[in-house]
Amino acid sequence: MPTLHTLKDADVRGKRVLLREDLNVPMRPSTGSGQVQILDPKRIDAALPTVRHLTGQGARVIIVSHLGRPDGKRNPRYTLKPIADALAERLHADVILASDVVGPSAREISESLRDGQVAMLENVRFEPGEEQNDPHFAKQLASLADLYVDDAFGTAHRAHASTEGVAHYLPSFAGLLMEAEIAELSKLLVDPEQPYVCVIGGAKIKDKVGVFSNLMDRVNAFCIGGGMANTFLAAQGVNVGASLRDDDLQPARAMLELAQARGVSMMLPVDAVVSSSFDNDAGARTVDLDAVGDAMILDIGPKTAAAYAKTIETARTVVFNGPMGVYEKTPYCEGTRIVGEAMARSTQRGARTVVGGGDAAAAADELGFAGKVTHVSTGGGATLEFLEGKELPGIKALQR
């Protein structure tokens, strides 16, 4: 586990603290009111412990975040005002929103803040220097504060000015969420309790070859679903009809050979829920693999789900890194739901169960097992790269 400066090491009273949070939440316009509606506030809620810790210690908090992809240009569609309002409601305190990022408004607010007050800069991605990790822009950001706290694990894999650059100019510390994410995910890589099962789904094997490779020496079994299961099956000569799969089967063959050499079980579907097309939900039916024909596989079948569940229930460590099928559609969510319920039962028996961010977290939330596991990560790409064993720029910047 990386050794970091944490908030326990920081004297923040009376100090201006530049706090990087990942408040990039999904939103949509509300009908009639002209106001936007936050569809999922989890990232805002996840930021609260660090914000409250800092204000409780008398810090003057200046929050930095991004929203969407404005491509370095000011765009009212991506203003952080709804985020600031939602945060203020939860804190029961004002959150002062600057009208710019490093301009006169931001500077005036940073200089006028009092102990325990909270301000927020406008969307940091309005500035082209953010994603370019421009040293001049990073220095401008740093000049607004006395200390830097990075609590945005979801952006830790990005070397941007607000996630990596500012750490070169200010004393830097990990926030409570960042610290918790690193601690939980490190337990999946450093001496995990056995048996250890990785439940892995997603569209393409090539996107997760790094995870397979890095976990191969640690896990006892992979339970494989989603589009990548189709690619593994095709690599074994199984007909998967019109199902989504990689064109290049060599990575799948390489992973199967590596697993065999290491004695790791690669559990693959023996049955599936199929339909004639992605949009034909009424045509969904369960078949054994030898009866897929020219149909499209859209979920693992009940026999497969039961086998995966049995393996998960006997594990002491489980990481869920992608749904088993098209969980957003009722006919194709059962495989993921059964796997999630098995993780919940495993948790009750004392196992460590972790859900990766992104689609994995969305599926866990949608199907009701997010609150029944040990940890749900707030990072999608960041979790993936962490499990691949990569060095994340946002974490490296905080290391002693």
DSSP-derived letter for residue 9 is: G
Mean pLDDT of 73-100: 96
Q: Kindly report the average pLDDT of the chain as a whole number.
A: 95
Is residue 31 scored above 60 in pLDDT? no
The answer to which of 4-8, 143-147, 324-328 has the lowest mean pLDDT is 4-8
Give tens-digit pLDDT for 226-281. Answer: 999 999 999 999 999 999 999 999 999 999 999 999 999 999 999 999 999 999 99
pLDDT band at 32 (very low <50, low <70, confident <90, very high): low
| Residue 302: Cβ-neighbour burial (10 angstroms; 0-12, 13-18, 19+) | middle
CA dist 284 and 293 (Å) reads: 14
Residues of the chain with pLDDT > 90, as a percent, come to 91
CA nearest to 323, candidates 344, 307, 302, 338: 338
pLDDT band at 33 (very low <50, low <70, confident <90, very high): low
Is residue 30 scored above 80 in pLDDT? no
3-state secondary structure 233-257: HHHCCCCCCCCCCCCCCHHHHHHHH
Is residue 200 scored above 90 in pLDDT? yes
CA distances from 141 to 18, 123, 163, 300 (A): 8, 13, 11, 49
Give tens-digit pLDDT for 112-145. Answer: 999 999 999 999 999 999 999 999 999 999 999 9
pLDDT band at 221 (very low <50, low <70, confident <90, very high): very high
CA dist 37 and 390 (Å) reads: 36
Give tens-digit pLDDT for 363-377. Answer: 999 999 999 999 999
* List of residues 6+ apart from 111 with CB closer than 8 A: none
pLDDT score for 217 = 93
Mean pLDDT of 31-45: 80
Q: Which two tokens stand for residue 9?
A: 């090491």
Is residue 12 scored above 80 in pLDDT? yes
pLDDT score for 205 = 86
> Which residues belong to the active site?
43, 204, 358, 381
Q: Which is more confidently placed, 57 or 208?
A: 57
Is residue 58 scored above 70 in pLDDT? yes
Residue 51 has φ and ψ, to the nearest 5°, of -60, -45
Mean pLDDT of 173-188: 96
Give tens-digit pLDDT for 283-297. Answer: 999 999 999 999 999
Is residue 34 scored above 70 in pLDDT? no
Mean pLDDT of 342-357: 96
Go through the domains of the chain in sequence order and give each one's CATH number: 7-179 (3.40.50.1260), 187-269+301-387 (3.40.50.1260)
CB atoms within 10 A of CB 175: 26
CA dist 359 and 336 (Å) reads: 12
Q: Which is more confidently placed, 5 or 50?
A: 50
C-alpha 38 chain-centroid distance: 18
